[in-house]
Structure 1
Amino acid sequence: MKLMLCVMAGLIASSSAVWAEAACEAAWDKSKAYTGGQRVSHQSTRYEARWWTQGENPARSGQWDVWKSLGACAAEQQPVVAQLNVGGRVQVDAPNRVSYSWPGVYFEGRFRGTGIGLAFDDPNGQYNVEIDGQPKAKVVKPGKSTYWVNGLADGEHSVRVSLRGELTGTPGGFGGLVAATGGQVLAPAAAPTRQIEFIGDSYTAGLGAEAGKRDCTAEENTAFSNADVSFGALTARHYGAAYQLNGYSGLGMVRNYGGNIASVNYRTFYDRALTGVDGNVWTNPGNWKPQVVVVGLGINDFSTAVGAGEAYTPETLRTAYKSAYRGFINKLRGQYGDTHVIVSATYLWPDNKLQEVAQEVVAEAKAAGDQKISYFYYDGLDSLGCGWHPSVRDHQAISTKLVSAIDGLGVWR
């Protein structure tokens, strides 16, 4: 099996929406019950309930009805992270802007009305937009703009925005949802309690998955990448879990594809929210503690022969890889506690060293007393993604196998 991996490019140095005269209260929610004295905002006006109510529109209340008007409030948008369920690592730059780099970062929210605006600030990224769980649009390089989805049936809707690929250079930015005239941004659904993190390379990122061919131009490589069809996203959706896809193309645990850029490796960037910003550190908001972490690092370490002038020999590469992997697992234990780590490996041509060394990592960890670590292996891919990467069909097959493996762990019942 011939395997070609994309060499990394651009390596450089989780409420409702409120619009804040007096500050606006939380937006009125038709499904919520309110008692006397509770206050809400609706269509930039503040209201106070006189008695218990549910589903009665404040704007339709008269002088003797349940809602008492308290006057107008200024239109100030509540922070993005309060409007939406945010999946993946983001950096909060301002209340109305978050930035990010890792593939598959996503935003899920709810609104009422016939349309919704999506506030982008990204000159490079490509995004999937879903309304009520159905694909609605692919947004390419939106820049600083508000992308509108209009013409919907008047009522309550869900919206999902997801980054299709990686942004290893300039980070992307998102400013949240903008209600259409007469509409309203609603509180997001309750965040999932199940969480799973995927750590890896271009396979984890879903690079070139939609191509249906192996030979792609650089533009096609980007256009056909889609983190939403990756095995990680598919597996998380199967379990109804929140997820992170922390994949970086071309990087390995200790050695990168072809021995490139020996001064960095995957571990250089793992702690960052913005991968292309030296010194950047992702600040866990405290609500990210995955029950399962799937680590798939090693394809780039072992898929190309060690070349003359590299710091490794085939033997020392194996030793260094295992040592770094043990340290990385200890790091995960330190930041997430009693999580279950799955060490993932795939078939590599011609000698499949990755399978052997990944098995050794797990066996040695178990021998040392770690019983929350497992080995996961997959092969039989058609590799019909760009550059011999997994195709959509491959990702589905990998996810099916991984779901079976996770079910066997008894983590989620």
Structure 2
Amino acid sequence: MKLRHTSLLAALCLLCFSCSSLKDTVAEKSELPATALKPYGRTMVNDAQQLELITSAAHFGYTFEGTESQVFASVPDAGTHGYLQYEVDGEYQKRVKIAPNATAPILITAPAAGKHTVWVYKATEAHTGPIMIEKITGENIAIVQKPNAPLIEFIGNSITSGAAADPSEVPCNTAAYHDQHNAYMAYGPRVARALGADFVLSSVSGIGIYRNWNSDGPTMPQVYEKIDFQENTSDRWNFDTATPEVVSIALGTNDFSMGDGKRERLPFDSTQFVNNYIQFVQQVKAQYPQAQIALLSSPMVNGRNGTTLENSISAVKAKIDALYPSDKPVALHFFQPMQASGCTGHPSVEDHAVMANELKPFFRKLLAQ
């Protein structure tokens, strides 16, 4: 009887140990719902409790332990696709295509066990459509937020979006327009990372101040307050979500464009451009009264048009400074001319590095003020 009792006790102990080990293993596996994430950029939580990444470079971070985690992402439209891109422990990894009806999660891997930090970015822009995040899974998943840092909002067009910049995976002119988007490598995020600042991109391909690349509108002033920069969208962006110290505006490239050569295009109207630009700066200042406004020219508008653009932007500065004498004066930066090497005449990833290096001293000075 004593032997049977001892054997039974040993079996019970083994069972308890096994249950405890299983419990520990389960505890290490965790799931982070999208609603718990702390995103940067324009985003929203939809009715399905998914986090919609809306704007270019909208991003979020998390930590995990071990060698891999999983991001469950999808696109809402069966007729299109999008791209995410990510970094692990501060090292950029790659872009990932989010195909229609995708069900398999994105596998995020690390080269060695331990605790790792991941930042996931939307590579494509608002007009491509949102990318929806359902959840993150892995071992000991936890949200991560950046330390308090100054925020720069970069308002612009396709250049600011990093559009057509990266043909490393999909060659130029072989697929959809957004197949070469790389917001992470655009000049704005590069500048912010180099200066230890946070950033958001408020940018739309083809958009202008008083007219767009091949249309009369809707222009940036008409859609800036809409959450996804779509004229017919009823949802408006909550500007109280984040307050930038600097708002950088780089518009004008498309106002000077001659379009597709098929649609009638009138000569550039400098008076209308300046007046609309002044009103747009006032619109931005109404949302961010304390922010430093910085106006950038375009590296793609050169020669006589480049001079006209610079003179027009200078006129905007003069008027805004006169209207708001107690505010910080508007800052100006005029780009060096560039022969872009990306797709469809856009700056490439390498060109964006050149632009960022040119801009870093300018923004470093603004953030120090």
Same fold (TM over 0.5): yes
- CA separation of 1:92/1:270 partners in 2, compared to 1, >3 Å: closer, same or farther? same
The within-5 A match list for 1:97-108 is: 97-108=50-61
Q: What is the one-letter code of the residue matched to 1:209?
A: A
- Residue of structure 1 equivalent to 2:328: 371
How far off is 1:121 after superposition?
Answer: 1.4
- 1:299 paired with 2:253, answer yes
- CA separation of 1:186/1:285 partners in 2, compared to 1, >3 Å: closer, same or farther? farther
8 A contact 1:100–1:173 mirrored in 2: yes
Q: What is the one-letter code of the residue matched to 2:46?
A: D
How far off is 1:177 after superposition?
Answer: 1.3
- Residue of structure 1 equivalent to 2:121: 162
Q: What is the one-letter code of the residue matched to 1:365?
A: I
- CA separation of 1:152/1:305 partners in 2, compared to 1, >3 Å: closer, same or farther? closer
- Residue of structure 2 equivalent to 1:17: none
Q: Which whole-Å deviations, capped at 9, do the CAs of 1:359-400 have from their partners, x for residues lacking one?
A: 111122223325331111102323001111112232122212
SS at match of 1:168: helix
8 A contact 1:306–1:312 mirrored in 2: no
- 1:149 paired with 2:149, answer no
8 A contact 1:306–1:313 mirrored in 2: no
How far off is 1:356 after superposition?
Answer: 1.6
8 A contact 2:218–2:231 mirrored in 1: no
Most deviating of 198-207 and 392-401:
392-401
How far off is 1:221 after superposition?
Answer: 4.4
- 1:391 paired with 2:348, answer yes
Q: Give the % identical residues.
A: 23
How far off is 1:404 after superposition?
Answer: 1.0
- Residue of structure 2 equivalent to 1:126: 83
CA distance in 1, matches of 2:31, 2:237: 23
Counterpart selection for 1:266 from 207, 210, 220: 220
SS at match of 2:285: helix
CA distance in 1, matches of 2:262, 2:293: 34
Q: Which whole-Å deviations, capped at 9, do the CAs of 1:82-135 have from their partners, x for residues lacking one?
A: 33x412100111474121332111121111233211010125111212222223
CA distance in 2, matches of 1:151, 1:367: 54
How far off is 1:80 after superposition?
Answer: 2.4
**What is the root-mean-square deviation in Å for CA atoms of aligned residues?**
3.2
CA distance in 2, matches of 1:76, 1:114: 14
Counterpart selection for 1:354 from 289, 309, 321: 309
Where in structure 1 are there 5+ consecutive unaligned residues? Answer: 1-44, 46-56, 61-71
8 A contact 1:125–1:167 mirrored in 2: no
- Residue of structure 2 equivalent to 1:216: 172
The within-5 A match list for 1:182-331 is: 183-211=139-167, 216-217=172-173, 219=175, 221-258=177-214, 260=215, 262-276=216-230, 278-284=232-238, 286-304=240-258, 314=268, 317-331=269-283
SS at match of 1:219: coil
- Residue of structure 2 equivalent to 1:48: none
8 A contact 1:91–1:282 mirrored in 2: no
CA distance in 2, matches of 1:218, 1:308: 23
- CA separation of 1:366/1:196 partners in 2, compared to 1, >3 Å: closer, same or farther? same
Matched pairs, number: 334
Most deviating of 398-407 and 244-253:
398-407
Q: What is the one-letter code of the residue matched to 2:95?
A: K
Q: Which whole-Å deviations, capped at 9, do the CAs of 1:44-82 have from their partners, x for residues lacking one?
A: x9xxxxxxxxxxx9x77xxxxxxxxxxx99x99665253
Where in structure 2 are there 5+ consecutive unaligned residues? Answer: 1-19
How does the TM-score come out when normalised to structure 1? 0.72
8 A contact 2:32–2:137 mirrored in 1: no
- 1:176 paired with 2:135, answer yes
How far off is 1:205 after superposition?
Answer: 0.7
State the 4+ residue runs in structure 1 displaced beyond 4 angstroms. Answer: 75-79, 305-313
How far off is 1:141 after superposition?
Answer: 2.4
SS at match of 2:334: strand
